[in-house]
Amino acid sequence: MAGSLDLTDTDLSDLSDRYPDIKFDVADDFVPDCTISEHFSSPCSNSTDHDATPTSKKNTASTAHTTPLRPLSHCAPESDIPTLDLFLEDISNADLPLISKEGFACLAQEMTILGALLVPESGDLHAGSIKSNKPKIHHQTQMMLSQLQKARDRVTDEIDNVDWIITRAPFTVEPAHEDLWCNYRQRGQLISQYTVLPCRTEKSMLEELTHIFDAYVYHSFLELLALGQVDAEIEDAINGLYDVLMTLLHNYNRWMTAMQDLKQNHMQPYMKKIRKSPEIRRDIAEAEFVKMMAKASIGSPEAPGMQPADERTIQELNLSTSRRYAPIPRRTE
């Protein structure tokens, strides 16, 4: 296990100011045991892959917060590094709508294209591919950035919807015992009308996509950055792409947590109270029976109000209508 990263007090202060949600402690190891499945390290550092890549001392506003997982050399073989073919196979077998599968496949393929623009087929990091491919790299990053931003915004909207409905009256009042069923139905109507359920399979595919980005783009980008082969414009573009990708994954987790909170803290307690109350369960059964009878009556030609009106009824209705509107008196000169 490597020791803690060599950070000065000034470095820690800068990091703490920029990322207040991260706890920095020089006394603790930054890299967890290999039994932990997820690990994200600081950007432009070599703690992700544990090679000899120098750590960048440059603190820029565009620097990514974390780096996707790369299997540790002593915990996983090289073959465990994700490949495009394996990812596309997983997408093909996933229980997802076709439009989701196509979106994931498209992003993964675009990531491999971006990686090929950063590093030539020979693998020579000193070949200067970035300088000659700069327009293509810029176009590729902007195209991917647009897709990821739209996905991020959609997930953010779902989180906002959850935050909004729990401020509505059915979620803020404490209903009386006899009103529990009515309040429960009102909450359910709000949830079904304004929210959609996140998908665990989609979240898993999104996690795999971050590893594809690391394997084909970000790992090579960090190596090129350490060699001074990346200018500020390309650095900002790729770090910006990375930030949006990781924010999307983070927000998807927030969305799943918010929906789980709705279930556990706002719906299940009420349902337990309802199930424990014989009076409420009896009222529900009676209401459902009346509702069932009403539906049956609507479809029955013998039900009240379903028979065709006779001539006398029509005359009475016409007479009633004529009496409803008194004639306007004629104006006298």
Q: Say whether pLDDT at 81 is over 50.
A: yes
Does 89 share its domain with 189?
yes
Does 150 share its domain with 4?
no
Question: 164 falls in which pLDDT band (50, 70, 90)?
Answer: very high
Question: 97 falls in which pLDDT band (50, 70, 90)?
Answer: very high
Last residue of a domain, one of 50, 80, 110: 80
CA distance 5 to 304: 82
Does 205 share its domain with 191?
yes
**Average confidence score pLDDT of the chain:** 75
Whether 330 maps to a domain, the answer reads: no
Whether 46 maps to a domain, the answer reads: yes
Residues paired with residue 67 on neighbouring β-strands, in sequence order: 41
Buried b (16+ CB within 10 A) or exposed e, 253-289: ebbbebbeebeeebbeebeeebeebeebeebeeeeee
What's the structural domain count of the chain? 2
CA distance 180 to 187: 11
Residue 14 half-sphere exposure toward CB, CA atoms < 13 A: 12
Q: Which residue has the higher pLDDT, 320 or 38?
A: 320
Query: Would you state the pLDDT for residue 245?
Result: 96
Does 102 share its domain with 230?
yes
Q: In terms of residue numbers, what domain contains 71?
A: 1-80
Query: Would you state the pLDDT for residue 302?
Result: 62
pLDDT tens digits, 107-151: 999 999 999 998 877 666 665 678 888 999 999 999 999 999 999
Whether 302 maps to a domain, the answer reads: no
pLDDT tens digits, 176-196: 998 999 999 999 999 999 999
Give the number of other Cβ atoms within 10 Å of residue 190's Cβ.
19
141, 241 Cβ separation under 8 angstroms? yes
Q: Say whether pLDDT at 49 is over 80.
A: no
Q: Which residue has the higher pLDDT, 160 or 62?
A: 160
Does 44 share its domain with 124?
no
Percent of the chain's residues with pLDDT above 90: 50
Find, among 267, 215, 234, the residue nearest to 132 by Cα: 234
Does 105 share its domain with 35?
no
Does 3 share its domain with 116?
no
Does 27 share its domain with 122?
no
Does 70 share its domain with 98?
no
pLDDT tens digits, 236-283: 999 999 999 999 999 999 999 999 999 999 999 999 999 999 999 998
Does 15 share its domain with 144?
no
Last residue of a domain, one of 246, 265, 280: 280
Tokens representing 69? Answer: 């997982």
Does 108 share its domain with 37?
no
Q: Say whether pLDDT at 166 is over 50.
A: yes
104, 213 Cβ separation under 8 angstroms? no
Does 143 share its domain with 247?
yes
Average of pLDDT values for 307-330? Answer: 62
Query: Would you state the pLDDT for residue 42?
Result: 31
Last residue of a domain, one of 80, 100, 122: 80
